[in-house]
Structure 1
């Protein structure tokens, strides 16, 4: 890694050598403070804080010390911190923490005092507290209930802010009891039982005794005699059937059809059939559409249910249902590139007329581009190919100097290069965020990305450059570090270097010491057990998992495994990418069924992470191929079709991990 430029203190630029030495003397103190913060060691933080005075990351040190004891801190201390570090990420981060604490304490006066200065404004719980205050004061808009629901439904875990706002809105009839029951259903679907109980406590506290049995023993509850009455009983049955459907679709469908359907409202039945259909669709079951066929009103389904009905219809080749399902989605969902593309494809299926062709072309044109999977497919539908976009005007020295002089960017890079990646990434994102006062415009984002590129902090280089809308700097978005090592190794074993680069970009963003939550390591994010197996397979002697952090070894192991996976899946890039992400066993099962256009197959991958991964790796590959070859490229040519393995063909690697 290259050495950072000095951090700007006020308007003065210190010379590099004295500054670097001063900072390095405090690095150990800052690192120790981060460890103490994670342990919640308040005394250790207080003792270490003086040693961080004057350090580039002093704002972080001060934040950790105060945040650890925020519950007993005085408002004057919080105010002093906010004034001392005004304009920094740490100031707004602590304000966020303080607002949450004030909300929990129901200290509405102080909350109202601090909230207007909250610049990030991205905390859903804080937003709900603000809506609750407006409701309590009688100043809430008529749309406040719907706004609160959007935030509440998006939160998966139990929260106080939106739950308290929901209670206020329900009492004021700004939302309906059904809205709260729907939150309970979403909690049951996500196996967040505390969320379910909180919602029921708000809407029907008398039903809490029966709720426990409905959640903990749904089969017993549903096959016995439910004791709650009326609407409460119906919703408890819905929750019990939801719980059952998550693990036993067939039994839930049978009980809904044979016993409980007549006792539920049309909305409840539709919602349950939508959920059961979704669960069957994620299992790639041919029964999914038959379950969905019981839905009498599409408006009762969530966007997620409609998305999975669309996917099931794609697998079945039912293009009219594809179009109908997309039309039933919310306006925001319909605008997404995935559903824009498939709506256009649906219009072009089954003998389209001139009007259908014109509408489809308009939809393709709306999303066509080089930036993503469906954007590239839409571009090809319009008869074009992916090429390198024209480079933006070169950055001026003044633009580059402004980025290098930005205190937030310097702090962020210093933190990342010190090993405080999480803190550095958060401060970098805050500093470059377009939604904060003084946020960056397109040229400023390009300059910030360039700053990160020059320091070889590739993930910030890529992510920052990706946020420009009017121009695309392909060199920033698709960098090629270690070019000779990657290209030579890939070509030496018969891999497309663009495919390798596309995968590395998605796996690690070229972070050498990247480590996933499950233990995958290095540039190509290889699991230790997989690495040992691959090393034996290619005859790499003396291998140890620690070597995965060595660039060349990681590339050797990662590309070897990718080639073995590609061979195992008959050269299918989508299947091999899925195997690299989720292991080969799952895509072996996912390929069974009808022979599909690989785009349809990829959209039906049950795991959202793997589905997103496959599409991004392939889109990355096309962009890298355009850069490496200088020639127009086709995504479709890399997709092909996906279907069951030819039973007559031998499996290349039955033990492929």
Structure 2
């Protein structure tokens, strides 16, 4: 802004007078958009209609137009929808509304209009829309075995009830293209996930008269399993299995007793195997040593889902039963076995069993297939092969033309503008849509790097990281592992005896460096500190002037977050894995999870019962190792940061008893 300093006061005033109406108009448009977002969330049709003219000509007008039409889509005429699609052709908002309209047409069973519109749907990422499309294929006689398998995969992956996939399943079942056993399998999965409506919807397809019993078995599974219906022989064995699944979620031991005493003879061999698998999983959730015994009652592993087999493998890992680890992984589907988690543990099981040259060669091949500097098991595989984590070579520098192409992309421009206006959710979705490799005109790796570079320059760190992470051959660690607030983080961490790489690894996972990030439970800022935790920590470190409003100041947030992390680390004897688990799930849970045998921390982390916390711990530790390589310039070891996890010695007091 040096040029402003040399303008005469008169010229400066003239420029300001000329620009101010434009600035004021832009501000009015911004304010109207923010108000429209709030009106959309409330479903306020009248307010949206009143505000829409105020955003005409604004760069983000497509969002205002989308909100105004979407909130009244149920009553909109097809011609009105088509006019919107034409007006905003090629935009994210066009395809977003097309997605919404396709779902509505499917719900209305308007298959003719649905089929006409489907070919222009670009995102192709909505399970419900895809299930409706499969229904159309089935009605038209175009659906074969591959379509039935796709439907199974889509339906089973949905935890909540969904009209699209449920309707498709009913259609395929009626046409004898989906057997009853597949419908009951969906009911099992939904029962395990405690999704009563999804269970009812599945049972409605194969046994409508049994739907009232679904409510009974959810209300009290033990009463259902031992009640009068069984005595009179009026219960379906499939419903008994659902009740056993529900009972196991609360009391695996009681479910095991019911299965052995009453239900084993009533169920098929496949159903018994599934029941024991669920009971074993629930016992493994609770870290009960009985889990291994329950899983041992499964006579054919192929009867279990990949999820149940995964928990069988975890229980075997915890018990040191390497042969069972390998057998459980071998029974998974090809997709399950391809997950880096199970590639790594299969290789480890082969090495642990001290097999011959063929087994060692197989283990070596498995490790080589996933080994890299990024990712928890990828880094561990690298170390098993005798290497360390180092910073990969940077890609060739972006050219001026590549950078200009990213900055000139309308979708990226709108995405960043929305984010910086405060429409983060909308901006992220538009950014992701624009960078999606599967859309027409989607980006190659150099274009992704250029988009990530622009996001980094604008300090929109989450889009920088997430966009860069999608490249496979062109890998930029400066984009994937940025270090905002470098001096503050490094100085604060070293002052209190924390590894700065650990702090950065945690922040990257917690907030992606979004300063105003706020979680659904109220955690705030870079290090996602809860209000009560912030107050407690501030008192603990003598920050007497602290007020809740200060937590979004980056220096205050880092000061309090690192202080709490150091206290957690001390409480868990320096274990980065346990401290990360405590930071995510609260310290009380890992204090319980550490009880039992002394374990390699990788095995301990893989047995963390909460999926979110299990993934969190692994990602924080992998991030930490990568940041350490960047900060020090030296090869790094993830294994050295893991160590072992076991019970706190009985004669060792808890360092911070009141740690929240």
2:12: which partner in 1?
A: none
Choose which of 237, 250, 253 in structure 1 pairs with 2:253: 250
1:10: which partner in 2?
A: none
Q: Which structure 2 residues correspond to residues 278-297 of structure 1 after superposition, within 5 A?
A: 278-297=281-300
1:12: which partner in 2?
A: none
Is 2:164 aligned against 1:161?
Answer: yes
Is 2:501 aligned against 1:493?
Answer: no
Distance (Å, rounded) in 2 between the aligned partners of 1:276 and 1:227: 21
Whether the 8 Å CA contact 2:229–2:235 is kept in 1: the answer is: no
Distance apart, 1:480 and its partner CA: 0.4
Choose which of 202, 214, 223 in structure 2 pairs with 1:199: 202
Is 2:62 aligned against 1:44?
Answer: no
**Higher RCO, 1 or 2 (CA under 8 Å, sep at least 6)?**
1
2:8: which partner in 1?
A: none
1:476: which partner in 2?
A: 479
Whether the 8 Å CA contact 1:144–1:174 is kept in 2: the answer is: no
Superposed CA deviations along residues 250-308 of structure 1, whole A, max 9, x for unmatched, are 11110001111101111111111100000000111000011111111111111111001
Choose which of 404, 426, 442 in structure 1 pairs with 2:429: 426
Structure 1 pair 409/230, CA: closer, same or farther in 2 (3 Å)?
Answer: farther
Distance (Å, rounded) in 2 between the aligned partners of 1:231 and 1:609: 41
Q: Which moved more, 1:17-26 or 1:40-49?
A: 17-26
Distance (Å, rounded) in 2 between the aligned partners of 1:193 and 1:516: 27
Distance (Å, rounded) in 1 between the aligned partners of 2:574 and 2:94: 52
1:316: which partner in 2?
A: 319
Secondary structure at the counterpart of residue 513 of structure 1: coil
Distance (Å, rounded) in 2 between the aligned partners of 1:88 and 1:436: 11
Whether the 8 Å CA contact 1:22–1:55 is kept in 2: the answer is: no
Distance apart, 1:217 and its partner CA: 2.3
Secondary structure at the counterpart of residue 282 of structure 2: helix
1:5: which partner in 2?
A: none
Secondary structure at the counterpart of residue 80 of structure 1: helix
Distance (Å, rounded) in 2 between the aligned partners of 1:203 and 1:231: 17
Superposed CA deviations along residues 349-398 of structure 1, whole A, max 9, x for unmatched, are 12221111111110110000011000000000111001100000000000
1:274: which partner in 2?
A: 277
1:346: which partner in 2?
A: 349
Structure 1 pair 193/656, CA: closer, same or farther in 2 (3 Å)?
Answer: same
2:60: which partner in 1?
A: 57
- TM-score if structure 1 supplies the norm length? 0.96
Is 2:241 aligned against 1:238?
Answer: yes
Is 2:187 aligned against 1:184?
Answer: yes
Distance (Å, rounded) in 2 between the aligned partners of 1:370 and 1:159: 39
Q: Which structure 2 residues correspond to residues 466-615 of structure 1 after superposition, within 5 A?
A: 466-615=469-618
2:415: which partner in 1?
A: 412
Structure 1 pair 452/238, CA: closer, same or farther in 2 (3 Å)?
Answer: same
Distance (Å, rounded) in 2 between the aligned partners of 1:649 and 1:254: 38
Whether the 8 Å CA contact 1:92–1:119 is kept in 2: the answer is: yes
Distance apart, 1:229 and its partner CA: 9.4
Distance apart, 1:592 and its partner CA: 0.5
Whether the 8 Å CA contact 2:446–2:474 is kept in 1: the answer is: no
Gapped regions of structure 1 (runs ≥ 5): 1-14
Whether the 8 Å CA contact 2:625–2:638 is kept in 1: the answer is: yes
Whether the 8 Å CA contact 2:172–2:178 is kept in 1: the answer is: yes
Distance apart, 1:227 and its partner CA: 6.0
Secondary structure at the counterpart of residue 83 of structure 1: helix
Distance (Å, rounded) in 2 between the aligned partners of 1:265 and 1:16: 78
Distance (Å, rounded) in 2 between the aligned partners of 1:287 and 1:125: 40
Is 2:399 aligned against 1:396?
Answer: yes
2:445: which partner in 1?
A: 442
Distance apart, 1:22 and its partner CA: 4.5
Distance (Å, rounded) in 2 between the aligned partners of 1:18 and 1:603: 59
Choose which of 632, 635, 649 in structure 2 pairs with 1:632: 635
Distance (Å, rounded) in 1 between the aligned partners of 2:471 and 2:503: 25
Distance apart, 1:542 and its partner CA: 2.0
Distance apart, 1:455 and its partner CA: 0.2
Structure 1 pair 231/378, CA: closer, same or farther in 2 (3 Å)?
Answer: farther
Choose which of 352, 360, 363 in structure 2 pairs with 1:360: 363
Secondary structure at the counterpart of residue 236 of structure 2: helix
Whether the 8 Å CA contact 2:127–2:154 is kept in 1: the answer is: yes
Distance (Å, rounded) in 2 between the aligned partners of 1:17 and 1:185: 64
RMSD, aligned α-carbons: 1.5
Choose which of 631, 651, 654 in structure 2 pairs with 1:651: 654
Distance (Å, rounded) in 2 between the aligned partners of 1:20 and 1:343: 62
Whether the 8 Å CA contact 1:515–1:521 is kept in 2: the answer is: yes
Superposed CA deviations along residues 552-583 of structure 1, whole A, max 9, x for unmatched, are 00000000000111111111111111111111
1:381: which partner in 2?
A: 384
Whether the 8 Å CA contact 1:373–1:619 is kept in 2: the answer is: yes
Choose which of 70, 76, 81 in structure 1 pairs with 2:79: 76
Structure 1 pair 406/235, CA: closer, same or farther in 2 (3 Å)?
Answer: same
